[in-house]
Amino acid sequence: MPDDRSILEVRDWGVIDYQTTFDAMQAFTAQRTSGMLDALWICEHPAVFTQGLAGKSDHVLDAGNIPVVASNRGGQVTYHGPGQAVAYPLLDLKRSGFFVKEYVYRLEEAVIRTLSEFDVVGHRVRGAPGIYVRLANPLDHARLDIPAQGRDQFAGLGKISALGIKVSRHCTYHGLSLNVAMDLSPFDRINPCGYIGLQTVDLYTIGVHVTVAQVHALLHQHLEALLQASRA
């Protein structure tokens, strides 16, 4: 059986400003001790563009009245807004035994398993963290056969989940987002994750009508199972 330290302490922040959550994650991580529980924070954010450490200003095409917040996560610019499920695992990787690459794989796997609950097939694209679906047939299980990079890398695909993390003193923060039922138009104001012309999609657009709370519950279930798997 896992010991008490392997339990994820879940906190539902509801709808909360991105900067407030960002500051809280940094503070939590800075104050962590070896005896503290790992945590999973779930929330929605009001409309905001966030830039990762690799972010380039020219990937923000027209922010308009949506704030742009500089972040210390990996990756480029993305959008958060109402109708999007956000999950921030705060995990001690040293205690868990995960390397960063495996941790990222497990975050993506949690999204894939969550999508599968709605009979939607999520796909990985090499070199482009996050999860994608086939726009023409989100239920298609066939393996993707696309170039490793270049303008056809995302042909026929829509990005439904973004991922960006930060690791400090072996501890993770930031995490992932999964588009549920949101206004997707702000994604047209950026090059999502730094990719020109990358399409984004949500569950509602592909015919899955569920709530953010339902998606959060499933994400929680799958993240907890995957992030504790090595500790039994």
Nearest in space to 106 (alpha carbons), one of 86, 133, 129? 129
β-pairing, 84-90 vs 123-125, is unpaired
Alpha carbon distances (Å) from 36 to 91, 230, 232: 10, 18, 18
Instruction: Tally Cβ neighbours within 10 Å of residue 121.
Output: 17
β-pairing, 68-70 vs 78-80, is unpaired
User: Which amino acid does the sequence have at 19?
Assistant: Q
Nearest in space to 75 (alpha carbons), one of 56, 59, 54? 54
Nearest in space to 174 (alpha carbons), one of 14, 6, 5, 26? 26
Q: Of these residues, 104, 131, 160, 193, which one is catalytic? A: 193
Helix (H), strand (E) at residue 227 = helix 212-227
Annotation marks residue 193 as catalytic: yes
Q: Would you name the residues annotated as active-site residues? A: 193
